[in-house]
Structure formats: structure tokens, C-alpha cells
Amino acid sequence: MSNAEPLETGSFERSRPSIGRPLAAPVRLLSWLVKTALVIAMLMVLVFTVGQVFDRHLLKSTFAAHDQFARIGLVWLTFLGIAVGIRDRTNVRIELLNHLAPQHIRRFMAIAIDLVILATSILLVIVGLPLLEVGAFQAIMGTTLNYDTMYASLLSGLCLLIIFLVLRFADLLSGGRFNLDGPVHDDDHHD
């Protein structure tokens, strides 16, 4: 008797045990928190972009930092969104003739690409840490914030990306035992 769900024919979906998932809840919580931060960043962009129009034409206040706050929200939205996109496998990829390759080649390529992204992200975090120190001394005009707020978005997104990829590899190496990663599909056109 097995607690695993059957595999779909022609798909990469792995079977998932229905018990023994001690790390699944914290991983889902982290994913939910990041997605909530994305919604907040999106709302920030929307509120300050639309607010600028109302302020300029109706209220005519002296507040001049609408675009600065919208830009901060957009930068956070971008870098957190990259991490979530890779976590959920919804990131944009260019795959020429991928559908013609055998399943083991597609799986190998997916692992190789994830390893390259992981190595690049680690390198960018190491090289990018001094940006926080530099940004702490550069004021964002019209606000009380400094550019370390912007640079922190890059490093936060990359750190989340590293965490999500490490969890993906832990899930792969454990055979999906801890349910740390989502299912893998043959292509990007799944429901």
C-alpha cells in the first residue's frame, strides 16, 4: 500500500506522500508572506501612481514624492516577483524545441538552469552587500528614505530566490518526501 498519488501520464509530476511533511507548512507560510508582500508592493505602485494624478489635478498639494514611492514599490515588486516566479515555475523562459526532447533531458536541463540561477544569485548577494552601505548615505529625494531601501529589494529577492532553490534541491534529493517544492509539469501551458 502506498500513500502516494499516481503519476500523470506524460508529465513530470512527482508523487507526493500524504504524510510526513514537517517542513511543508513553514515553506507555504514563507511563500504566502512573500506573495502578500507582492500585493502590498503592487498596491503601493497603484496608490501612488493614481494618487499623483488626483494630487496634480484636484488637490494640488505640495507633496512631490509620488513617483519616488511608486518606484520603490515597483522595484520591490520586481525582485520579490522574480523569486516567486521561479518558486512557482511561472517565470518566463525561452525553450527552443524543449517539447521535442526526451523527459530525462528536460529534467537535466531544468536542474542545470536552477543550478546556474542559484550560483548567480549567491554571487550577486555577495557582491551586492556593499550596496546597502553605499545606499545608506544616498537620500531618495522628496522622502525620508535612503537608497538602501531600493538595494534591499534586490538582496531580499535574491535571498528568497536562494532559499526557494535550496528547498527545490532538498525536495529533489529527498524524493519529494518533505513536500518543499511544487509539481513539475511538461510545459508552461498547464492549468
Least confident residue range of 92-101, 112-121, 158-167, 168-177: 92-101
Give the CA angle between residues 140, 55, 150 to the nearest 5°.
Answer: 20
Average pLDDT over residues 52-80: 87
Alpha-carbon gap, residue 49 to 67, rounded angstroms = 7
pLDDT higher than threshold 60 for residue 130: yes
Instruction: Determine the pLDDT at residue 158.
Output: 95
**pLDDT tens digits for 68-96?**
999 999 999 999 999 999 988 887 776 76
Say what the pTM is: 0.77
Check if the beta carbon of residue 80 is closer than 8 Å to that of residue 157.
yes
Confidence of residue 115 (pLDDT cuts 50, 70, 90): very high
Domain ranges of the chain: 24-89+102-173
pLDDT higher than threshold 60 for residue 5: no
Alpha-carbon gap, residue 188 to 191, rounded angstroms = 9
Confidence of residue 144 (pLDDT cuts 50, 70, 90): confident
Average pLDDT over residues 167-189: 74
- Which is higher by pLDDT, 17 or 140? 140
- pLDDT, mean over the chain: 81
Alpha-carbon gap, residue 58 to 104, rounded angstroms = 61
Instruction: Determine the pLDDT at residue 23.
Output: 67
Least confident residue range of 8-22, 38-52, 97-111, 133-147: 8-22
- 41: its cell numbers: 508592493
Residue 107's alpha-carbon distances to 8, 12, 21, 36, in angstroms, are 16, 8, 24, 31
Check if the beta carbon of residue 152 is closer than 8 Å to that of residue 132.
yes
Average pLDDT over residues 93-103: 75
Confidence of residue 163 (pLDDT cuts 50, 70, 90): very high
Average pLDDT over residues 110-133: 92
